[in-house]
Homo-oligomer: A and B are copies of this chain.
Amino acid sequence: MKTERLIYLPLGGAGEVGMNAYVFGWGPEGRERLILVDLGVTFPDMDGAPGVDLILPDVAWLAERADRLEAIFITHAHEDHIGALAHLLPRLKAPVYARRFTALIARMKLEDQGRDPAAVTTVGAWPETVEAGPFTVSFLPVSHSIPESAALVIDTPAGRVVHTGDFKLDGNPLVGEPFDAELWHRVATEAGGVKVLTCDSTNVFVPHPGRSEATLGPAIEELIRGAKGMVAATTFASNVARVRTLAVAARAAGRSVVLLGRAMRRMIGAAQEAGVLTDFPPTIAPEDAEHVSRDNLMLIVTGSQGERRAATAALSRGKYLGFEMKEGDTFLFSSKTIPGNERSVLRIVNAFSEIGVEVVDDRDSRYHVSGHANRPDLEAVHELMKPQILIPMHGEHRMLREHARLAQAKGIASEIVPNGTMVDLTGDAPEIVEYIETGRVYLDGSVLVGAMDGVVRDRIRMAINGHVLVTLIVEDDRLLGEAWAETMGLPQAGRSRKLLAEVIEAEVTEHLDGAGAKTLRDDDRIDEAVKRIVRQAALEEIGKKPEVTVVVSRLSGG
């Protein structure tokens, strides 16, 4: 009989920033009772997943073991931690636990998808606990940029695990609880100390200590006071702390505040409803802003990452809900541009430049601070928690590597554990025991599509190569009339100056007219021959090999 063991298996979030999903288990090998921490999304781009709405972790491994899943815990309400819950919960069928505000957002998301919000149970902060099979779990308050962010204290038969979630060391985060070193110290020293710290790695390469959210207000207020005309600022809608900082600064500078963008109004509304944001300054509705002079207005808007449909992009292109940025106005990016979004953000900055709007960005870090612990902050937490084992999570592979190295340099056992790697944490050091097939699932319209299913691959191929359709009618083993070709996403004509479609039609027709009954009786042979001819003709005419779809219609003998 196998002995029992403590396992850890990231299904998402370890090897990327996004779609966090971490499994812990305890029990005999292959029969561990499981819990899942977080179930987030990541955002697609044209390069990798054109037309896709959201990217979710592939939880097939967990879904096959749903009977062993005791519970799902959500650390906080950011999309990369909660965004996949409503889409994947039906496959996992486990109770969901979260603190009040996070639970409220989770229920809203479940209702949006037509699912039962009763799956979510609200839990109070440490020392309140939830029993989940062999695990006793408690939500330990931690400073981040959204209300009620929590680390998890997961007591297991093998010892205490602390899973940091997203955090920074902020004594005055303005929204959510300050980082309470004494509380964390207590968690670290009782119950035999911390066996395992699974720890946020996002900012391990940032060499200086992180700054407090509270340091931003005066600089932003000064900027607004010095501005002429209208002022607008953007940040992540879910960065509730920053939205508040911007609004408070605007009010202090004597301006009326308008929140623009559905996501922002919804997030702030939810925080107020949950009672975790009682000191948000008064705002005015967009439709009331016409009574306020432009010099007295401050817009706080969505779209800090350059999203085409969000308020920031709309304002850079012209009017949005009656608001229009004009020469001499000021636009503040109180945000960091996520790698991959630079071009979209710069497109907006340049569009504002064309209007004559003063754009202020994060170039000198005056108007933005990160919500994640920097390298010295991580070292401070290592010191404070004194874990036996440190597992870096929430980061790209290079960040996990650096974080593991940092821990090892201090004599803490550590291992890089990317998505799909199962480690046994029972002993003194982590031991890799298995590799699980993991990956990504796309929410494409209303359908979940496997990233490897070829659906999006075909779209990328059409985008790169264009698409040619050839239709043929075959009657009695001979081509009836001529082949018909349509091209999509290809130049009309190339080298010969004849229409590409006509060149293709002529070559296909000629070939099939000369082909024997053996070919014309066999759809696969026709398909293969036509594709070859089309690609060759296109290569000669336009220098590209397009995707080809062949439709053969057969008329039963005349």
**A binding-site residues for B, Cβ under 8 Å:** 15, 45-47, 50-51, 205, 339-340, 342-344, 346, 349-350, 352-354, 359, 363, 396-398, 400-401, 418, 444-447, 449, 453, 455-456, 458-460, 462-467, 469, 471, 473, 480-481, 484, 486, 488-491, 494-495, 539, 542-544, 547, 549, 551, 553, 555
Contact of A459 among B353, B449, B489, B539 (CB under 8 A): B489
* Chain B positions within 8 Å of A447 at CB level: 491, 494, 542-543
Can you report 16 residue pairs joining A to B where beta carbons are below 8 Å apart?
A: A46-B463, A339-B342, A340-B343, A346-B398, A350-B396, A352-B398, A353-B398, A354-B397, A449-B491, A459-B463, A459-B466, A471-B553, A473-B555, A481-B553, A484-B551, A488-B547
* Chain B positions within 8 Å of A465 at CB level: 51
B354 contacts A346, C-beta separation under 8 Å:
no
B491 contacts A549, C-beta separation under 8 Å:
no
Cα A398 to Cα B359 in complex, Å, equals 9
Cβ distance A274 to chain B, nearest Cβ, rounded Å: 30
Sorted nearest first, the 8 A-B pairs with minimum C-beta distance are A446-B543, A445-B543, A463-B463, A459-B489, A445-B544, A51-B464, A340-B343, A50-B463
Cα A397 to Cα B351 in complex, Å, equals 8
* Chain B positions within 8 Å of A15 at CB level: 350
> In the complex, which residue of chain B has the Cβ closest to the Cβ of A402?
B353
B46 contacts A549, C-beta separation under 8 Å:
no
A446 contacts B46, C-beta separation under 8 Å:
no
* Chain B positions within 8 Å of A446 at CB level: 494-495, 542-544
Residue in A481, A488, A495 with the greatest tally of chain B CB atoms within 10 Å? A488
* Chain B positions within 8 Å of A398 at CB level: 346, 349-350, 352-353, 359
Residue in A339, A453, A459 with the greatest tally of chain B CB atoms within 10 Å? A459
A458 contacts B488, C-beta separation under 8 Å:
yes
> In the complex, which residue of chain B has the Cβ closest to the Cβ of A538?
B445
> In the complex, which residue of chain B has the Cβ closest to the Cβ of A558?
B558
Cα A469 to Cα B343 in complex, Å, equals 34
* Chain B positions within 8 Å of A460 at CB level: 46, 50, 463
Cα A453 to Cα B359 in complex, Å, equals 33
Q: A462-B463, A469-B549 are in contact. Are A343 and B349 (CB under 8 A)?
A: no
B343 contacts A339, C-beta separation under 8 Å:
yes
Cα A50 to Cα B490 in complex, Å, equals 12
A464 contacts B551, C-beta separation under 8 Å:
no
B551 contacts A486, C-beta separation under 8 Å:
yes
* Chain B positions within 8 Å of A464 at CB level: 50-51, 459
> In the complex, which residue of chain B has the Cβ closest to the Cβ of A448?
B491
Contact of A50 among B46, B205, B467, B469 (CB under 8 A): B46
Cα A342 to Cα B547 in complex, Å, equals 29
Cα A543 to Cα B448 in complex, Å, equals 11
* Chain B positions within 8 Å of A51 at CB level: 463-466, 489, 544
Cα A274 to Cα B34 in complex, Å, equals 68
Cα A10 to Cα B445 in complex, Å, equals 43
Cα A340 to Cα B345 in complex, Å, equals 10
A45 contacts B462, C-beta separation under 8 Å:
no
Q: A47-B46, A447-B494 are in contact. Are A397 and B551 (CB under 8 A)?
A: no
* Chain B positions within 8 Å of A343 at CB level: 45, 47, 339-340
